[in-house]
Amino acid sequence: MQPRTTPEVGGMGHSMKRKEDPRFIRGKGNYVDDIVLPGMLWMDIVRSPFAHAKIKSINTEKALKVPGVLAVITGETLAKYNLHWMPTLMSDTQMVLPTEKVMYQAQEVAAVIATSRYAAADGVDAVEVDYEPLPVVVDPFKALEPGAPVLRTDKKDKKDNRIFHWEAGDRAATEKAFAEADVRVKQSLYIPRIHVASIETCGCIADFDRVNGKLTVYMTTQAPHAIRTVFALVAGHVGLSEERIRIVSPDIGGGFGGKVPVYPGYVIATAASVVIGKPVKWIEDRMENLQADSFARDYHITAELAARKDGTITALRMKTLADHGYADAAANPSKFPAGLFSICTGSYDVKKAFVEVDGVYTNKPPGGVAYRCSFRVTEAIHAIERITDVLAQELKMDPAELRMKNFIPKEKFPYKSALGWEYDSGDYGPALQMAMDKIGYAALRKEQAEKRARGELMGIGISSFTEILGAGPSKQFDILGIKMFDSCELRIHPTGKAIARFGTKSQGQGHETTYAQIVAEELGIPASAVQVEEGDTDTAPYGLGTYASRSTPTAGAAGAMAARKIREKARKIAAHLLEVSPDDLVWELGKFSVKGAPSRSKTIQEIAFAAYTNHPPGMEAGLEAVDYYDPPNLTFPFGSYICVVDIDRGTGMVKIRRFVAVDDCGNIINPMIVDGQIHGGLTMGMAPALLEEISYDENGNNQAGSFMDYLVPTAVESPSWETFKTVTPSPHHPLGAKGVGESATVGAPPAIANAVVDALAHLGVKHVDIPITPEKVWRILKEKGVAE
Amino acid sequence: MATHDIQVTVNGTAYDAQVESRLLLVHLLRDQLRLTGTHIGCDTTHCGACTVLLDGQPVKSCTVLAVQANGRQVSTVEGLEKEGKLHPLQEGFWEKHGLQCGYCTPGMLMTTCALLARSKNPSETEIREAISGNLCRCTGYNNIVKAVQFAAERLGKEA
Amino acid sequence: MIPASFDYHAPGTLPEALALLSKYGDDAKVLSGGQSLLPLLKLRLGQTGHLIDIGRIPGLEYIREESGFLRIGGRTRESALEASEIIRSRYPILHDTAKVIADPLVRNMATIGGNLAHGDPGNDHPATMLALGAQVVATGPNGERVMPIEQFFLGLFRTALRSDEVLTEIRIPVPPARSGGAYLKLERKVGDYATAAAAAQVTLGGGGAVERVGLALTNVAPTPVKAADAEKFLVGKRPDAATLGEAAQRAAKVSSPSADRRGSVEYKREMARVLTTRALKLAVERAGGK
């Protein structure tokens, strides 16, 4: 798509250099731990070594004697203010600090306040806690067995560990379709718990100003307004009122969903600051981050497809057990306890479908959607793409051919899926075809056959995913009741420059650039002259933040709409200046000109100046607009990925030889930034496929609690990604754009898993769970008698 | 609790400091000297966000004591720009979108600065190996490689 | 990530360092590269009252061939080993080893002496030194003590180095002609400890049979493992595929790995076998065999 604006204006389609980079390349970013306030104190947290234990006593005597330690806060302290429990974003409850028992290893038990970072650490070491271990529940299936220890003893009438049951689709019609099918395939798969591990951990500085009664919290948060409202609702009874709470999200070193939840550390630091009257800084270290903060995945899925002999899929059924840890604190929209899992019919025209998800409590940290997953879409797409390959294998059909046969055809869009979504637009065939052409699919199949004959293991895996982004329309989506619109406040200055504030919050996605490019596209003001701000709840319009790839679909749209409101006022001003009727004016590329007399025109800059110096009588001065955008629908980016792997028969090590990614995210604002999002998403898709997993032993001990065992890929493990595009605009988005941040994390794992299974398919292998470790592969080879 | 009087030269400026034996070099830089460009990302010497040059060699400043740097030269990201002129690596990272959230970037810059000092035209493999002690979650590393190649070419022209 | 308090000393000479070690005994630890010690202290998994930094002492970093030995100063950085032309061309097994220790940044600080003295079976140099038949030189208050490497590793995190000694030199006998070696490490990702690793150093005789061989394994037992039985088996035989395979079986037999995230006992033992086969094959190739 050719840009309509010049590079100097920098509207959509230009790969303009990022406006936020000058500070980052100089090391002048402003992250939470960079901020120092006068009189600031430090907080560090005592954590439980046990996954489930009664707290018999907490002895703070030694800790209080450590030089520099001022106070130790426990659950008892917070209970006085009824702050020891707090609501989660899913309307469950979780502890801030326990008064009776702990429910996961590394849970917060007490907090030390000290005059320095080092003294706080010494204080933590000196707090003595006496625990009485309780039976631990780590297996979610066992958690549902009769007689399993009931974990949430704080809930008066709770007699089991169930959290929710959710379903979508037509159970009876689906059963009938399965009964009538020629072919049925079924596969159980486990998608393990993983952790997003942004390079910056979480933290905050809570600063309660006693004189003005104002609380300011600098916080690593992707959703500052939501946090502010939650604080006001939770702590209103201790005198915190929403207009006197300011949440500031400065530069964030990666979010990916891990910086959405309200962590106990934020609340404790705030309570400490309110009580002491000084700023309190809390910055978690990496092991705390990995062991206590919100996780993602942990879905046990049984997926089934029914099909005709010729490969036409007729029905889909999925049953999932969702391990949520000890509280349901997943940051899903409230009516969607399993997120957008019902996208699991994927890119295929599946007429009948039924899915059900059961959530269960275990002795693990709470969370669920904190890893670039678009609200459980990674799980859904992994399941459909794996079961599709299982079907292809059963039918002895090429997996590309099977997909092509079942893709929703272009003419059927907007497409109503069997599980209730209306996909806005899609053209799946060309994307898959492009991927096949770019990777040389036919030649690879030939090579595979030759290699197989020599006993060499090589696999080709395809993933054709549909994403679902931009939560979301107010009729379906809310978080804690707050609708999921987003917003833009745009003001043009007399000299034709602009400031644009949004309700979202970039953690590296480049909003300072891309939002400016949207304004440039709509108004012709150069993107370089548009200042973009986010993250300060005192100034930014209300928004639900940035996660689940929602920024472009919601706030980006709000930016376009605000700009269009300004354009309408600008038209009237131009008409006044040119002494014509507004209907006699034509807008193009930054100016209004008179129909039939194009030399008579006014630029947006001239109009802006006039808005303050010569506005029409009867009209307000100024040139600004606010838009709260309620998206009419979600957006549905898609793509096809193909991965080639070679497997070392001796060690089981999987090496990705090539990976081609064809993405379609509709109209593109900044191609370079989109590619960056895809590269990053691909590496974060490869990671869970081959390397990352958080697991627990039977005592609830976290087995991957540091970077020693939680294996984040380096530049050596991460392949050189090859990326391509097709463009199918969204019909309902003002810019035709769809969003892209998480597509690659969704599409990549099944492409890799499918490639490995493909490499072993001739041995009779149908499925391998991720992460596909060398030992898993080696065991299969050994079992099949083909190890080195 | 012994304290020591040390002098560390950072980006060409000599600083006097009084430090505990256990003070980590990264905390000296960030907390005492207020050079907050060097970041902390882990506690097990894996992530490399804290990378600085110690007498020209890239090291993880979270695993060096401040006292070990006594009398030595430290270079941090703040010292890359000279008299308003960006280092070619800084230009490369900007030009080629080699950063997103910016948190791993100072470490990447210092590591690759040392790489280009010893290897004028590193291959993609060499670049990836050189930065294998620096973790990035945002970029997928593709554009970091391009940024370094850009800088190598730019430095080659300036030579 | 903050260590507990300790006192720090930066002696300018070796005698000063030794005096401090004698003075503080078990309450002192030598700080060499610090890349194993400081992480332990930061996590408060270990504690010490006194750190004796040997970083200011001149004459502890060198790589030179002299009197039939490759002599490496105890404080020589891994990055220097990796960059050394002598090592790359004449001791490829050592080049292989230095290249896979942790990551390039850690290698700029980490030292060979520290890698050996720490007594961690996951460290890479021990197996290589066993394969090379190296000697460890420890300097204490009574002078130098030279130990054959086979007597150096006593147990998990325990070596023969006394608390009043500093590991000042490693001596590797210059291999005869027709020698070659290789170190192959299976790791989950760059920077990891070995799932298993094999060090093989081979000298071929005139007729192409194995004349001498050193074979050792990393991280498959509480100490590095010398595969003595496999070595004995190989001597005098032609290094064909079947022979190397049998030797690798024997090497794997003497391993006693523990199960962890890197693998089960069975997998690690099997990887010891696979890597030994491959390391031997490569060592033989480098020795001029086929």
Strand partners, A464: A640
| pLDDT score of B2 | 77
Q: Which of A588, A573, A424 is nearest to A521 (CA)?
A: A588
Lookup: tokens for A50: 């046990």
C residues 262..281 contacting A (CB < 8 A): 263-264, 267, 270-271, 274, 278
Query: Which residues lie below 8 Å from residue C207, measured CB to CB, with a gap of 6+?
Result: none
10 Å CB burial of residue A25 (0-12, 13-18, 19+) is buried
CB contact C27 to B (< 8 Å): no
Q: What is the pLDDT of residue B1?
A: 52
Q: How many Cβ atoms from other residues are within 10 Å of residue B46's Cβ?
A: 27
Q: What is the overall mean pLDDT for chain A?
A: 97
Q: Which of C43, C195, C249, C274 to mutate to test the interface with A (most CBs of A within 10 A)?
A: C274
Active centre residues of A (catalytic): 222, 372-373, 742
**With contact defined as beta carbons under 8 Å apart, do C33 and C39 qualify?**
no
A355 falls in which pLDDT band (50, 70, 90)?
very high
Which ranges of B72-141 does DSSP label H, i.e. alpha helix? 88-95, 105-118, 124-130
* Position C290 pLDDT exceeds 70: no
- pLDDT for A237: 81
With CA atoms as reference, the chain A residue closest to B84 would be A26
Q: How far is CA C153 from CA A61, B80, B144, C120, C157, in A?
A: 43, 45, 42, 9, 8
Q: Does C155 touch chain A (CB under 8 A)?
A: no
pLDDT per position as a tens digit, A399-442: 999 999 999 999 999 999 999 999 999 999 999 999 999 999 99
Q: Any CB–CB contact under 8 A between B7 and chain C?
A: no
The Cα B142–Cα B96 span in angstroms is 10
What percent of chain A has a predicted confidence (pLDDT) above 70? 100
Chain B residues close to A197, C-beta within 8 Å: 137
Specify which residues C214 forms β-bridges with: C201
Residues of B in contact with A715 (CB under 8 A): 127-129, 131-132, 134, 136, 141, 144-145
B41 touches chain C (CB under 8 A): no
Q: Does C32 touch chain A (CB under 8 A)?
A: no
Helices (H), A277-427: 286-292, 377-395, 399-406
The separation between CA A755 and the C-alpha centre of its own chain, rounded to angstroms, equals: 25
Q: Would you state the pLDDT for residue A788?
A: 78
Q: How far is C209 from chain B (nearest CA, A)?
A: 37
Report residue B157's pLDDT band, with 50, 70 and 90 as the boundaries: confident
Instruction: Retrieve residue B68's tokens.
Output: 């070990």
> What DSSP character marks residue A536?
B
Tokens, residue A424: 């806005």
- Could you report the per-residue pLDDT of A293-313, keeping only the tens digit for each? 999 999 999 999 999 999 999
For the four alpha carbons of B115, B117, B119 and B122, in that order, the dihedral sign comes to: positive
In this structure, the strands spanning A313-323 and A352-360 are: parallel
The answer to whether A345 touches A419, Cβ cutoff 8 Å, is yes
- Cβ separation of C109 and B58 shorter than 8 Å? no
The residues, ordered by sequence, that sit 6+ positions from C96 with a Cβ below 8 Å of its Cβ are C128, C181, C182, C183, C184
Report the pLDDT averaged over residues A545-559: 94
Check residue A82 and give its pLDDT: 92
Tell me phi and psi for residue A639, to 5 degrees. 180, 170
Please list the alpha-helical segments (H only) found in C59-124: 78-83, 85-90, 92-99, 104-107, 112-117
Contacts for A513 with CB less than 8 Å, ≥ 6 apart: A16, A17, A18, A19, A20, A527, A532, A670, A673
Q: Hey, are the CB atoms on C261 and A286 less than 8 Å from each other?
A: no
Strand partners, B71: none
Residue A479 carries which side chain, given as an amino acid letter?
I
Chains in touch with C (3+ beta-carbon pairs under 8 Å) read: A, B
Average pLDDT, chain B: 97
Are C1 and B43 a contacting pair at CB < 8 A?
Answer: yes
Residue type, B11: N
Q: Does B26 touch chain A (CB under 8 A)?
A: no
How far apart CA B47 and CA B44 sit, in angstroms, is 8
For residue C3, the distance in angstroms to the closest alpha carbon of chain B comes to: 6
C10 contacts in B (CB within 8 Å)? 67, 70
- Angle, helices A557-578 vs A604-613, to 10°: value is 70
Helices A399-406, A428-439: inter-axial angle, 10-degree rounding:
160
- Identify the DSSP state of A251: B
Chain C residues within an 8 Å CB radius of A709: 261
CB contact under 8 Å between C105 and B4, yes or no, is no
Specify the amino acid at residue A690.
L
CA-wise closest residue to C34 among C105, C135, C136, C129:
C105
User: C172 falls in which pLDDT band (50, 70, 90)?
Assistant: very high
Is the CB of residue B94 less than 8 Å from the CB of residue B124?
A: no
Q: Does residue A771 have a cis peptide bond before it, meaning omega lies within 30 degrees of 0?
A: yes
| pLDDT in the model for residue A238 | 80
- Residues on A contacting C at a C-beta cutoff of 8 Å: 117-118, 121-122, 125, 285-286, 650-651, 653, 691, 703-704, 709, 711, 713-714, 716-717, 773-775, 778-779, 782, 787-788
Rounded Cα–Cα distance for residues A774 and A155 (Å): 43
Instruction: Tell whether C44 is within 8 A of chain A (Cβ).
Output: yes
- What count of other Cβ atoms lies within 10 Å of the Cβ of residue B156? 12
Provide φ and ψ at C196, rounded to 5°.
-165, 155
User: Rounded to the nearest 5°, which phi and psi values hold at C224?
Assistant: -65, 145
Mutate to test the interface with A, among C41, C106, C189, C269 (most CBs of A within 10 A): C189
Rounded to whole angstroms, the Cα distance separating B10 from B53 reads: 10
Q: Which helix (H) or strand (E) holds A604?
A: helix A604-613
CB contact under 8 A, A27 and B106: yes
Please write the tens of the pLDDT for every residue from A326-353.
Answer: 999 999 999 999 999 999 999 999 999 9
DSSP-derived 3-state class of residue A155: coil
Give the residue-averaged pLDDT of B128-145: 98
Please state the rounded mean pLDDT for residues A489-518: 97
Query: In this structure, are strands A498-502 and A530-534 parallel, antiparallel, or unpaired?
Result: parallel
Yes or no, beta carbons of C267 and A775 under 8 Å apart = yes
Residue A682 Cα, gap to closest chain C Cα (Å): 17
Tokens 């005597």 correspond to A61
Say yes or no for a CB contact (<8 Å) between A708 and B127.
Answer: no
Q: What is the pTM of this model?
A: 0.98
B43 touches chain C (CB under 8 A): yes
Mean pLDDT of A567-584: 97
Strand pairing class (C166-173; C135-140): antiparallel
Contact A505, A252 (CB under 8 A): yes
Contact between C62 and C73 (Cβ < 8 Å): yes
Residues of C in contact with B22 (CB under 8 A): 2-6, 8, 41
Closest Cβ opposite residue A713 in set C4, C5, C189: C189
The answer to whether the CB atoms of A716 and C189 lie below 8 A apart is yes
Token readout for C134 is 């190296």
Burial C1-24 (b: 16+ CB within 10 A, else e): bbbbebbbbbbeebebbbbbbeeb
Nearest by Cα to C112 from C89, C96, C129, C133: C129
CB hemisphere CA count around A43 (13 angstroms) = 31
Q: In what order do the strands lie in the sheet with C143-148?
A: C63-66, C69-73, C166-173, C135-140, C143-148
How many C-beta neighbours within 10 Å does residue A697 have?
11
Among A339, A272, A188, residue whose Cα is nearest residue A742: A339
Residues of B in contact with C4 (CB under 8 A): 22
Q: Give the pLDDT band of residue A236 (cuts 50, 70, 90).
A: confident
| List of chain A residues whose C-beta atoms are within 8 Å of the C-beta of residue C191 | 714
Q: Strand ranges (DSSP E) for chain B? A: 3-10, 13-20, 51-54, 57-60, 73-75
Give the residue carrying structure tokens 């499925």.
Answer: A767
Q: In this predicted model, what pLDDT tens digit does every residue of A449-477 receive, in sequence order?
A: 999 999 999 999 999 999 999 999 999 99
Read off the pLDDT of each residue in A174-199 and give the average, rounded to a whole number: 98
Query: Which pLDDT value is given to residue A399?
Result: 98
- Minimal CA separation from C150 to chain A, in Å: 29
From C34's Cα to the closest Cα of chain B, the distance in A is 7
User: Residue A533: helix, strand or coil by DSSP?
Assistant: strand
CB contact under 8 A, C42 and B43: yes
